[in-house]
Structure 1
Amino acid sequence: MGSKNLSSTNIAMEQAFAAKFPDVDRTVLHYCSGFSSDALKDVDQVAEQVIAFISNLLLDAGADQNGVKSIQKELEEKFHEREQNVDILEKNKLVRLKETIRMDNEAEISSTLGLVGDKVDLGAVKGKTIETRVDKRKLEKAERKIRAKWEKRTIKAEYESSKLIQPEQKSYEEFYMSVNPLDLTGNNQGKSKDVKIDGIDLAFAGNRILTNASLTLAQGRRYGLTGRNGVGKSTLLRALSRREIAVPTHITILHVEQEITGDDTPVLQSVLDADVWRKYLLNEQAQINEQLANIERELEELAQDKDADQAVARRLERTRDDLDVHLMDIQNKLAEMDSDRAESRAATILAGLGFDQEMQSHPTKSFSGGWRMRLSLARALFCQPDLLLLDEPSNMLDVPSIAFLANYLKTYKNIVLVVSHDRSFLNEVATDIIHQHSERLDYYRGNFSQFYATREERRLNQLREYEKQMEYRKHLQTFIDKFRYNAAKSSEAQSRIKKLEKLPVLEKPQMENEVAFEFPVAEKISPPVLQMTDVSFEYVPGRPVLRHVDIDVQMDSRIGVVGPNGTGKSTMLKLLIEQLRPTSGLVSRHSRLRIAYFAQHHVDGLDLNLSALSFLAKAFPGRGEEEYRRHLGSFGVTGPMALQKMVTLSGGQKSRVAFACLGLQNPHILILDEPTNHLDMESMDALTRAIDKFNGGVILVSHDVDFLDKTCTSIWECDHGTITKFDGTIAQYKKHCLETQPNMTIKSV
């Protein structure tokens, strides 16, 4: 099999593929022929694996089954021929080793690396036994990293065919099917659904996220992923969802990170369509049933025709038998998916997330961003993946829906990995906490409160152990320095030197820098400051959003506005800042009043192609660079972060920039719409302290129960077009929601 033969093999292979599959895309055929030719040149390529890969690729591209069987036979013959001509490689000085050489055992290495003759013990040749200096732990760690990289390459290779056919960005359906391959054979049944991956290295935008980290997730456990803004929590979830981290392919994955795109599909149907393989199998089942009906008709016609070709009848019967087997596999898979109960499950989940029966029939494009986010969540819960990834799911949900989601997840049978900064939500849902920091993952059993206490206790224990060792080291070093050159004490000094050398090196546990927000002192103005009197508002005539609202905001006000999504909370805030004009009633403001408004979608107001420093200089000109830097620093935007393009910052870091913009407005009143979205725990604590110290008025909309409890002295409920003061605490309001919403207790089905 010389180079001339190999070249002719390439041409012959391409011609064979083109002749057998005239209807298949030329790009796919070119790829198949090239891959086959390359595999024939490489003796390490396993024939069965290559043939199976080519066959599956051709079948996916619409090739005829008989043609695929024919090409399989040809490839088997060529691989058999290759095995008989392995000696060609010896001419190129390439020889396959007869057995594996262990490089960590010198006795197994021959003088010619095992290429000729028997093994030679290097220790015996030198006349003495040489102890290996290979660190076995480091060697195992390196092998794990190499193994993980190869697993990544293998997974990416499986989707190479779809890249050839459709190089542009995949739709939801294509992405779901490629990431979650379907198994009709039942080979995956009984396999463990636990995830255990070592040696994870992850980076984003040039920044290290994880270095040699280990991810361990057990089936049935619910993990809360916590850590500072910008540490890479969302990046980790995205890497898992795309299998850039080598999660076994029999484990299905679904990631909820953004709202769906609205179209004319009804809400209920949109949820049903989220399970792409169910939809695909139902279509396949319908097509096979139609094919079987056509075959039966043709067989009946042939049976009545005495002159009919019996070979045609036998071919039809074989096709019918193959379709029957395939149909049985599809029906078994649909039964395993519990397909018959799909519609009732979808309706139950939608009801729990606030979609009544009428809303479930509306097209998805008729809903706002918050409702579409709920719909994304409903689609994920309906699919019931083995690994459910949720990124800040409570950001777009109201208190009743958060309560439903918490109750639902508590009965979820598979793995849940959720990024959330809502302490109350994590306390209810999480069975374990993963703390991401310093390019690693630390694991804690229990909910967030237990994690917080355990982490502090662990840090104090580590600090005590470190200080104790430092004191012991100092004691040994003092003795060594004093008696090292004393003849009488030199042996004792040497003994202490050896003790000092054998002590393990402990690192001092690091204290995370406390984040501090600081709003400027507001100058005093006399009341009334900001009032709404008998205000009504409607976007569409005859359909009021708010009716007869009366509210009074003073310099010492701490007002929290709660209520279901879509009831007019954000509309009320926009009326207060005069972004909207009331249909009737009066909004009165003090003549010198300055209001700083934090919008729910505050990112839309940032130029993400600029750095935080450049954006502040552009939006609030007239100050020096040092003043901008100092002001950004007072909201936790320090060092290189202030000079990075904001497009590379995390959601929480962008929120900090938005808060810095509020501070430069020197406000008397802060109006905050969902200010805790994307903020990490430390930033939320910093915002809580800043609001507490601020001497102006605050009115805010939030669904974070813990945050509202710490910042607000009065709760106002927005519902059914009115805003009324709620007599009680936020905890009592949450309990009230659960009592008035019976579907909040629905379990995972």
Structure 2
Amino acid sequence: MSLLTITDLTLRIAGRTLLDNASLSVDPGRKIGLIGKNGAGKSTLLAAIAGDFAPDGGTITLAARATMGRVKQETPSGSTSILDTVLEGDLERTRLLAEAETATDPARIADVHERLIAIDAYTAPARAGAILSGLGFDQEAQNRAVSDFSGGWRMRVSLATALFLNPDLLLLDEPTNHLDIEATLWLESWLAKFSGAAIIVSHDRSLLDNTVDAIAHLDHQKISVTPGGYDNFVRIRTEQALQQNRAAERIAAQRAHMQSFVDRFRAKATKAKQAQARLKALERLPQIDSVVEDTPTRFSFPEPQPLPPPMLSLNNVSLGYDGRVVLKGLNQRLDMEDRIALLGQNGRGKSTFAKLLAGRLEPMSGTYTHSPKLKIGYFAQHQSDELVLTDTPIDHMSRAMPDALPAAVRAQLARFGLDENRAETKVGELSGGEKARLLLALSTREAPHLLILDEPTNHLDLDARDALIRALSAFEGAVILISHDSHLVESVADRFWLVEDGTIAPFEGDMAEYRAWLLERARKARSEIAERSRAATASTESGSSSAQKRIDRKEQTRALAPLRRKIRDAEAKMAQLTSEKKKIEDKLADPALYQSGDAGELTSLNVHLSALNATLETVEETWLEAQAELEDSMS
């Protein structure tokens, strides 16, 4: 039985038909990558599945009692902590916990506690914390208010909430857009283990190849499904197109041969019957059209003038903001032929380094020298916020190129697929991918020697990403790349610099080795926490200095804080349950209850007591396990 069934679906937006009698079936546990060009209707389809609006035709049916999770477009805000925001995303758990505090009807209280046990409510904080940790929020960050974080980090909170719900069907729309490579790799691993079904809109080839069972392609208002990941989709689609073109050529040759016979012998009495037979055969030949590919997406960068080496160099540079050092001791050099990808978690200084090279940030110390003729093109996704929504791409480019003729302005826009129609469309009406193309056109208008690209592929579809890779391969200048897109990084960069621990150093290896390094680092981090706990205890027992004891105790306290919090939560819950249990036992011990003859109340109290005992037993087991783990860590 299908989890989700879409039958003969028609969707229209602003009078434009996106889907016309399209169908799709999603079985339980199946993961489907949803692809298509920008504007094909992928996000609109997800919104229709989520029930945001009614389709113009056809049906969308979700299996009875199936749950659905989706990353909300509006980001969370307010003073609530990151962890509590994720926990509150489980509306049923939040409602039941509140009701457990206020309910007075014994039968209802029993039902509430039974349901809390069924949905594993008491382990929720640990599960939410693990997801947040994978997405880059450490223990300290999880306890900070949502309002302390930028929009990109808040989108991670929305993603964490959707994953935490562990629904039967998960809808993800470009989930990696606000993730770094580390968090993207974690998400791939999480999705691979996720037991539910998922529909994932993504232009990240690595994510699609590593997580989905099939590709659903939105094209020409229909949905076609191909088994396997994206690479398999490309292979099968290419083979099908070749076969269709060969069949079309064969039928066209037969048609031409028969038509030639008819034209030659139609007027001859001796051949008239054969000619008529050929005409009927012509009518029976199938009509097979050749596959006509859409006009391929093409990007091109202006060719820079050569510069003598070194193009730029840093000598013992430190940089940061408001007196706070982010990176120090930088000694890097760039030449025209360099293609370098910056690796490292978000917040470690990659974008800060990019701003230094782009001239948006001055060094706090050290020297930054470069050729006086150096031209730099700087692309950062946040620059879309600086675009004037009521102006057109032509308006923006004309201001950026005040001395250029109109033809040159249009030519620069055309380099990135902004044709005459889109060049004259207001920015507020452009898609995210079209805005990214405009930013690429603006940042490269002066034929830069160095391209600094900070997450350039957000909102670009797969064809546009491939076009960007081809354009960068042909580009004659240097490239500094920051991207979560592993395919782009592997295709463009020939060297890696790791931004870590306040400095930048070469990383010797490829992306596979970087993934392995990340996994090993995570393993070591877990081992070091355990080792610090053991060392702190041993140090205390051996009579270390009082100062060292304070340091060791502080480290041990930090490492064991989540475990102690779990114990405290369990103790508080046991106290609450014990209090409720005593109240019911007191009622059951009251002779008046039996004298009243109210069998219904007696049954309700016994059911409630049974549920409380079961819940109390579960919480006690949780407390015992956590207490044993704490004791082991301190022994």
Where on the TM-score scale, by shorter chain, does this alignment land: which range? 0.7 to 0.9
Q: Partners of 2:205 and 2:473 in 1: how far apart?
A: 19
Change in 2 beyond 3 A, CA 1:262/1:539: farther
Letter in 2 for 1:207: R
Matches within 5 A, 1:292-331: 292=105, 324=107, 326-327=108-109, 329-331=111-113
The residue aligned with 2:196 is: 414
- 1:228-287 CA-to-partner distances (Å, cap 9, x unmatched) read 223232222223223435343744333226462332111111110111222123223333
What is the aligned-residue identity percentage?
A: 39
Cα distance in 2 between the residues matched to 1:660 and 1:232: 25
Match of 1:202 in 2: 11
| Correspondence for 2:494 among 696, 706, 713 | 713
Is 1:480 the counterpart of 2:269 in the alignment? no
The structure 2 residue matched to 1:506, chosen from 283, 288, 303, is 288
Residues 333 and 483 of structure 1: CA distance in aligned 2, closer, same or farther (over 3 Å): farther
Q: How many residues align?
A: 520
Q: CA deviation at 1:206?
A: 4.0
Query: Given the alignment, which residue of 61, 65, 68 partners 1:253?
Result: 68
Question: Which residue is equivalent to 1:691?
Answer: 472
Post-superposition offset of 1:378? 0.9
Equivalent residue in structure 2 for 1:232, among 33, 41, 56: 41
Cα distance in 2 for partners of 1:473, 1:744 equals 71
1:262 maps to a residue whose letter is: S
Structure 1 residues 406 and 744: alpha-carbon distance in aligned structure 2, compared to 1, 3 A threshold: farther
Deviates more, 1:198-207 or 1:444-453: 198-207
Code of the aligned partner of 2:139 = Q
- Matched residues in 1 for 2:150 and 2:525: separation? 22
Change beyond 3 A, Cα 1:433–1:286? same
Where does residue 433 of structure 1 map in the other structure?
A: 215
In the alignment, the residues of structure 2 paired with residue 625 and residue 282 of structure 1 have an alpha-carbon distance, to the nearest angstrom, of: 65
For the 8 Å contact 1:257–1:390, the answer to whether it is kept is: no
**Distance (Å, rounded) in 2 between the aligned partners of 1:452 and 1:509:** 15
Counterpart among 220, 225, 232 of residue 29 in structure 2? 220
Cα distance change, pair 744–476 in 1 and its aligned pair in 2 (3 A): farther
Q: State the distance in 1 between where 2:329 and 2:366 align.
A: 8
Confirm or deny that 1:279 pairs with 2:88. no
Does 1:372 find its partner at 2:181? no
In the alignment, the residues of structure 2 paired with residue 476 and residue 281 of structure 1 have an alpha-carbon distance, to the nearest angstrom, of 77
Deviation at 1:440, TM superposition (A): 1.5
The residue that corresponds to 1:313 in the other structure is none
Q: Residue 423 of structure 1 corresponds to which residue in structure 2?
A: 205
The letter for the 2-side match of 1:223 is I
SS at match of 1:393: coil
1:608-687 alignment to 2 at 5 Å?
608-687=389-468
Report SS of the residue matched to 2:139. Answer: coil
- Give the drift of 1:617: 2.4
Q: How does 1:59-138 map to 2 (within 5 A)?
A: none
- Letter aligned with residue 459 of structure 2: H
| Residue type of the alignment partner of 1:362 | R
State the TM-score, normalized to the length of structure 2.
Answer: 0.77
Q: Distance in 2 between matches of 1:577 and 1:252?
A: 47
Q: Are 1:517 and 2:332 an aligned pair?
A: no
Query: Which one-letter code corresponds to 1:269 in the other structure?
Result: D
| Secondary structure in 2 matching 1:201 | strand
Q: Is the 8 A contact 1:602 1:655 kept in 2?
A: no
Q: 1:669 to 1:399 in 2, by over 3 A?
A: same
Deviations 1:294-322 (A, max 9, x none): xxxxxxxxxxxxxxxxxxxxxxxxxxxxx
What amino acid is the match of 1:411?
K
RCO comparison, higher one (Cα < 8 Å, 6+):
2
Over residues 344-371 of structure 1, what are the superposed CA-to-partner deviations in whole Å (9 max), with x where a residue is unaligned? 2111212222222222211122223332
Q: 1:458 to 1:365 in 2, by over 3 A?
A: same
Q: Report the Cα distance in structure 2 between the residues aligned to 1:358 and 1:618, rounded to whole angstroms.
A: 45
Q: Structure 2: which 5+ runs fail to align?
A: 527-635
Report the aligned-residue RMSD.
2.3
- State the shift of 1:413 in Å: 1.6
Q: Which amino acid aligns with 1:708?
A: V
2:121 maps to which of 336, 339, 361: 339
Structure 1 distance, partners of 2:278, 2:286, is: 14
State whether structure 2 residue 83 is matched by structure 1 residue 264: no
Counterpart for residue 385 of structure 2: 604
* Gap change, CA 1:742 and 1:240, over 3 Å in 2: farther
The answer (yes or no) to whether the contact 1:399–1:734 under 8 Å persists in 2 is no
- How many Å separate the matches in 2 of 1:348 and 1:482? 79
Residue 315 (structure 2) aligns with: 533
Whether 2:517 is the aligned partner of 1:732: answer no
Letter in 1 for 2:297: V
Letter in 2 for 1:233: K
**Superposed displacement of residue 717, structure 1:** 0.4
The structural deviation recorded for 1:515 is: 1.6
Against the structure 1 CA distance between its residues 603 and 490, is the aligned structure 2 distance closer, same or farther, given a 3 Å change threshold? same
Shift in CA distance, 627/201, structure 1 to aligned 2, threshold 3 Å: farther
Q: Give the conservation status (yes or no) of the 8 Å contact 2:418–2:434.
A: yes
**Structure 2 match to 1:211:** 20
Does structure 2 conserve the Cα–Cα contact (< 8 Å) formed by 1:399 and 1:737?
no
- After superposing the two structures, state which structure 1 stretch, 438-447 or 494-503, moved more: 494-503
- Distance in 2 between residues matched to 1:743 and 1:233, nearest whole Å: 41
Q: Contact between 2:2 and 2:25, CA under 8 Å: does it hold in 1?
A: no
Question: Contact between 2:76 and 2:157, CA under 8 Å: does it hold in 1?
Answer: no
* In structure 2, C-alpha distance between the alignment counterparts of 1:247 and 1:341, rounded to whole Å: 32
**1:666 partner SS:** coil
Listed as ranges, the gaps of 5+ residues in structure 1 are 1-191, 293-322
Matched AA of 1:476: M
- Structure 2 contact 251–286 (Cα < 8 Å) conserved: no
- Paired with 1:346 and 1:565, the residues of 2 have a C-alpha distance of 20
1:531 and 1:605 map into 2 onto residues whose CA distance is 30
CA contact (8 A) 2:401 2:409 kept: no
Q: Which residue of 1 aligns with 2:541?
A: none
Letter in 1 for 2:78: D
The AA in structure 2 aligned to 1:689 is R
Quick check: 1:200–1:212 contact (8 Å CA) kept in 2?
yes
The amino acid across from 1:231 in the alignment is A
Q: Give the letter for the 2:514 counterpart.
A: Y
SS at match of 2:497: strand
Instruction: Report deviation, 1:607.
Output: 1.9
Aligned-residue offset at 1:331: 4.2
User: What letter corresponds to residue 392 of structure 1 in structure 2?
Assistant: E
Q: Distance in 1 between matches of 2:475 and 2:453?
A: 14
In the alignment, the residues of structure 1 paired with residue 192 and residue 451 of structure 2 have an alpha-carbon distance, to the nearest angstrom, of 36
Relative to structure 1, the CA distance from residue 428 to residue 274 in structure 2 (aligned partners, 3 Å threshold; closer, same or farther) is: same
- The separation in 2 between residues aligned to 1:402 and 1:337, in whole angstroms, is 28
Match of 1:177 in 2: none
**Contact 2:381–2:436 under 8 Å retained in 1:** no
Normalising by structure 1, report the TM-score. 0.66
- SS of the residue aligned with 2:103? helix
Conserved? CA contact 1:611–1:645, under 8 Å:
yes
Mean Cα deviation higher: 431-440 or 494-503: 494-503
SS of equivalent to 1:402:
helix
Counterpart of 1:267, as a letter, is I
Return the letter of the residue paired with 1:255: R
Given residue 434 of structure 2, which amino acid in structure 1 is its aligned partner? Q
SS in 2 for 1:588: strand
Q: Distance in 1 between matches of 2:469 and 2:113?
A: 55
- Structure 1 residue 741: deviation in Å? 1.8
CA distance in 2, matches of 1:662, 1:401: 28
Q: CA separation in 2, counterparts of 1:201 and 1:617?
A: 40
Give the counterpart of 2:175 among 361, 373, 393: 393
User: Superposed, which structure 2 residues align to 1:425-464 within 5 Å?
Assistant: 425-464=207-246
For residues 193 and 335 of structure 1, what CA distance do their matches in structure 2 show?
Answer: 28
